[in-house]
Structure 1
Amino acid sequence: MTDEEMSHLLDDPLPEGMFSPAEAAIIVFARTSTWMQPITDEIYANLQEHFDTKQIMEISFTVGLDQLISRFHATVRTDLDGVTAEATNACAVRIPDAP
């Protein structure tokens, strides 16, 4: 994914034509799951239009694993050195304000 595409992952709705329908289905699923909102029948049906059951399980596992790793790093506030950030094309995620 390009930097421009990455910058639009949180847009609601997603920009028209920037992502393929299959990519958009994954993004909506991942975003909904990450925000700990229910995966609706509509979201799941949209995944089923593009992926079989095994692929949906793999997508779910990948999204869940990423969430686990991200929450760990958010908890300990891991900093990336410049070389790692550049090599991984990492994009900074704003730390939310304290409650």
Structure 2
Amino acid sequence: MNEPRVPGADDDGPTAELLRARRGGELSALDRLLLHSPPVAEGWNALLGALRGATTLPADLRELVVLRVAVLNDAAFEWVSHEPIARRAGLAELQLQVLRRPDAAAEPVWTPLQAAVLAFTDASTRDVAVPEEVFAGVREHLDDRQVVELTALVGGYAMVSRFLVALAVPPPDGEVPG
């Protein structure tokens, strides 16, 4: 297995314990890199904990966004970590395969809500600016809070993927907890 461009930091101390608490006792390679900067690690932990466990978005939509961002940004760590979670959230094998296609949102395997969320994720990740018709598509299905949560989710996992790719963090052997 390849090593990240930066070695992992010491995994002792209060910040490491905060990360362990969210992850169910284990630290990931990502966590060990974040521990080089305790303030960043603590903020990251709070944000990602909220995005993963405190939004009103259904789990299938959340994992659809995470996996699509992973595909668009070529973040293998993110895909490997979240694919099992996506399956438990109800995404089917065919949907997981379609997510890897360039125009995944246009494929006929999604509910109207899932297709709208994918189009939003693609626009926000690829171009940052979300066209009005794409935004209107999610507004047909999501309330104000959920639109804010979706936007933060796309941006948050774009941050995660860029961090992982820039530091060449190799994929884990499987799911990374919470």
Q: Does 1:19 align with 2:110?
A: yes
Unaligned runs of 5+ in 2: 1-90
State the one-letter code of the partner of 1:72: F
The aligned counterpart of 2:96 is 6
Larger Rg: 2
Is the 8 Å Cα contact of residues 124 and 130 (structure 2) preserved in structure 1?
yes
| RMSD between aligned residues | 1.7
Give distance in 1, aligned partners of 2:143 and 2:156: 20
| 1:31 counterpart residue number | 122
**Structure whose residues are more often helix by fraction:** 2
SS of the equivalent of 1:7 reads helix
Query: 1:61, CA displacement in angstroms?
Result: 0.5
After TM superposition, which residue ranges in structure 1, 4 or more long, deviate above 6 angstroms?
none
What is the percentage of aligned positions where both structures have the same residue?
24
TM-score, structure 1 as length reference: 0.75
Superposed displacement of residue 32, structure 1: 1.1
TM superposition score normalised by structure 2:
0.44
Q: How many residues align?
A: 84
Query: Does 1 or 2 have the higher relative contact order (CA < 8 Å, sep 6+)?
Result: 2
Counterpart for residue 57 of structure 2: none
Using the TM superposition, give the Cα deviation of residue 3 of structure 1 relative to its aligned residue in structure 2, in angstroms: 3.5
Taking the aligned partners of 2:172 and 2:153, their CA distance within structure 1 comes to 25
CA contact (8 A) 2:123 2:131 kept: no
